[in-house]
Amino acid sequence: MKINKDSLTVIKKRSGWQIIDFQELIEYRDLFFFLVWRDIKALYAQTIMGFSWAIIQPLIQILMFSIIFGKVAKISTDGIPYILFSSVAIIPWTYMSQSMTVSSQSLVQGSALLGKIYFPRLIFPIAPILSKLVDFGFSIAIILGLMLYYRILPTWNLLCFPLFFIMMVSIPAGVGLWLSSLAIRFRDVKHAMPFFVRMLIYTAPIVYSASSIPEKYRIIYSLNPIVGVIEGYRACLLGTPFPWLYIWPGMITAAVLLISGAYYFKRMEQILVDVI
């Protein structure tokens, strides 16, 4: 059978200097949407509670932390009710931790598709970051309910919420780009990730207040971008003053993490199929 070469379309990776080819991602938006929608449906497929789990899981954690750290350990919260203090931190933390975990294994789990056809490999680690936003949107209802219960009204601080939302998404995106690339070559990432996430929760002011950190360590402490997200969310939603000392260094770290992760991912993208 003779094939007409004029009827063939060759799909290949574009060359260019930019770290992320946004035009290419737009061209593959249908695949992008499909993978995001697949992750959303697969997460709660054949479950009785469905999307209710997006609220139940963080709610149970909030209640446990409120009892253990609020009632028993009596951790200082700078005058904020502990259940509200912890919920504003646990909900963005839950999103970031789950997104990092799923994104780090995205290339390994999608390895069967990688060698068959070309498409932007960046879609794989980014799709879980977007699909997890659905859970985050549902769990925000917990914070809104507690704010109504304690009669806390929004302030002008809420205008800065988009800034910290972008920062919250950037952190798992940067970590996911780094770890998904490394997981292709080093399968240890899969085993180390749960331990890493469990330890990471204690490096941010989730169960305790950032004001309890000794002053001489605060600059180093604030380099953790999760600290800036948590403190920014508390200021936006609860109306407390913005602790910029904890926020600006974390923003810089988040930007460096995202840019360097994208750069490393692009370098590894050329050999993904060979080493997977």
Read off the DSSP letter of residue 242.
P
Close Cβ partners of 149 (under 8 Å, ≥ 6 residues apart): none
pLDDT at residue 11 above 80? no
Q: Is the dihedral of CA 45, 46, 47, 50 positive or negative?
A: positive
Q: What is the pLDDT of residue 4?
A: 55
Q: What is the pTM of this model?
A: 0.86
What's the CA gap between 56 and 52, in Å, rounded? Answer: 6
How is the chain split into domains, by residue range? 27-275
Candidates 76, 77, 80, 92; CA nearest to 239 is: 80
Q: What is the pLDDT of residue 57?
A: 82
CA distances from 88 to 140, 141, 248 (A): 9, 11, 20
pLDDT at residue 1 above 50? no
Of residues 260 and 42, more confidence is placed in 260
Query: What mean pLDDT do residues 10-29 have?
Result: 63
Tokens of 214: 């000794």
pLDDT band at 231 (very low <50, low <70, confident <90, very high): very high
pLDDT at residue 202 above 90? no
What's the whole-number average pLDDT of the chain?
82
